[in-house]
Chains A and B, each alone.
Chain A
């Protein structure tokens, strides 16, 4: 099946720093989504991207749908301690009618105050 390569696997940063993470695939996706999971909670949708080249912001978060439709990037600016968590990318494949998402393995973000 389709696989997403998400990197980095983990990041340790200082409060105030900017963060970048990305997902790549060998297949084309129609949709890219970014989720954040806090400990003991379910994933929360942060940003949804539907168009190649699209750049969308949500507060300090900015995500981009790669032009090739095989990748996506998430940037967090001026990180704060509550940004800690696992960030997942998810791709919605081209074609098909069951709207099944494929998830990356997550990026664990730690922010040192």
Chain B
């Protein structure tokens, strides 16, 4: 029933660890996104994939690597986690060439 789902909902880990966040959408959309929301609630796009092809890659440290096994899934892998990576990460999806993006429930990442 859920349109855009993310796992896990909460992730607490130590500095230096590697972690992954998974996203799936069942809306039949072609394009998926990762956003970061900081403590001031500012939403900033990180990546966008269209049909498994990277189309947006903002200035994000290369410790962050998105992977799209198919157009319904977009995972985010983060290496060597740092304190500043603590934030809420949202996955979103949209139709090809469409601005209406639908968001998942978010993953709150806390790095200690």
Contacts and interface: CB of A to CB of B under 8 A. Distances in A.
Interface size on A, as a range, is: 20 to 34
Contacts, number: 55
A99 B105 contact: no
A99 B98 contact: yes
Interface in A1-40: 30-31, 33, 35, 37, 40
A31 B43 contact: no
Nearest to B9: A40
Interface residues of B, number: 24
Interface in A54-113: 86, 88, 90, 92, 97-101, 103, 105-106
B66 interface: no
B94 A42 contact: no
B45 A45 contact: no
A33 B42 contact: no
Interface in B16-57: 31, 40-45, 48, 55-56
Interface of B: 4, 31, 40-45, 48, 55-56, 90, 92, 94, 97-106
Given A43-B90, A106-B42, 5 more contacts: A33-B101, A37-B41, A42-B103, A44-B103, A103-B42
